[in-house]
């Protein structure tokens, strides 16, 4: 796999996946390291093992910044759009906490936020279309409860096809 693709895969995993199963392993590894800088040294050793030789990789390019893209909102109803966020019940997230974070980061009025669906590892939030991009951008690089937040336009709900046989 290309090194740039590996970097994007690592960043995507860090932002969107529940990595809590790996915490005990990290804790065990940290106990076996000297006190200062142990988490970063473990991370660096893992990068070395996964990436291999990076001497030819141009590190001047900022690979961590997402590429500029046009946001496309597929799920629009009555002037409101649904947003996906990678935080859910397993992250001790509830509707009030999501609303507080949105208001704190974006500055929009919490009363304008519509329906919130919280699942195990992710949530959907309905917001006015004119605020959606502001909300998404306000969560760029955000961390909540140790999780890198990924907020993006939700995909359209798939319509169930009635099978007639």
Is residue 131 over pLDDT 50?
A: yes
What gap in Å lies between CA 87 and CA 145, rounded to an integer?
Answer: 10
What gap in Å lies between CA 49 and CA 42, rounded to an integer?
Answer: 11
Is residue 160 over pLDDT 50?
A: no
Is residue 113 over pLDDT 50?
A: yes
Burial (CB < 10 A; 0-12, 13-18, 19+), residue 124, is: middle
pLDDT of residue 165: 43
Q: How confident is the model at residue 28 (pLDDT cuts 50, 70, 90)?
A: very high
From residue 10, alpha-carbon distances to 63, 87, 88 in Å are: 11, 18, 21
CATH number for the domain running over 76-153: 3.30.70.330
Give domain limits for the chain: 3-51, 76-153
Burial (CB < 10 A; 0-12, 13-18, 19+), residue 122, is: buried
């Amino acid at each position: 796999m290309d090194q740039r693709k590996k970097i994007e895969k690592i960043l995507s995993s860090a932002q969107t996946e529940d990595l809590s199963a790996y915490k005990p392993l990290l804790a065990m590894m940290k106990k076996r390291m000297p006190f200062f800088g142990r988490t970063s040294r473990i991370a660096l050793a893992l990068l070395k093992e996964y990436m291999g030789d990076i001497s030819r990789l141009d590190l001047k390019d900022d690979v961590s910044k997402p590429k500029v893209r046009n946001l496309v909102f597929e799920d629009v109803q009555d002037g409101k759009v649904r947003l996906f966020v990678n935080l859910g019940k397993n992250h001790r997230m509830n509707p009030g906490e999501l609303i507080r974070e949105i208001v704190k980061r974006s500055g929009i009025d919490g009363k304008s936020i519509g329906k919130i669906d919280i699942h195990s590892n992710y949530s959907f939030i309905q917001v006015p279309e004119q605020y959606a991009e502001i909300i998404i951008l306000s969560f760029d690089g955000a961390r909540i409860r140790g999780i890198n937040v990924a907020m993006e336009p939700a995909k359209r709900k798939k319509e169930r096809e009635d099978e007639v046989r």
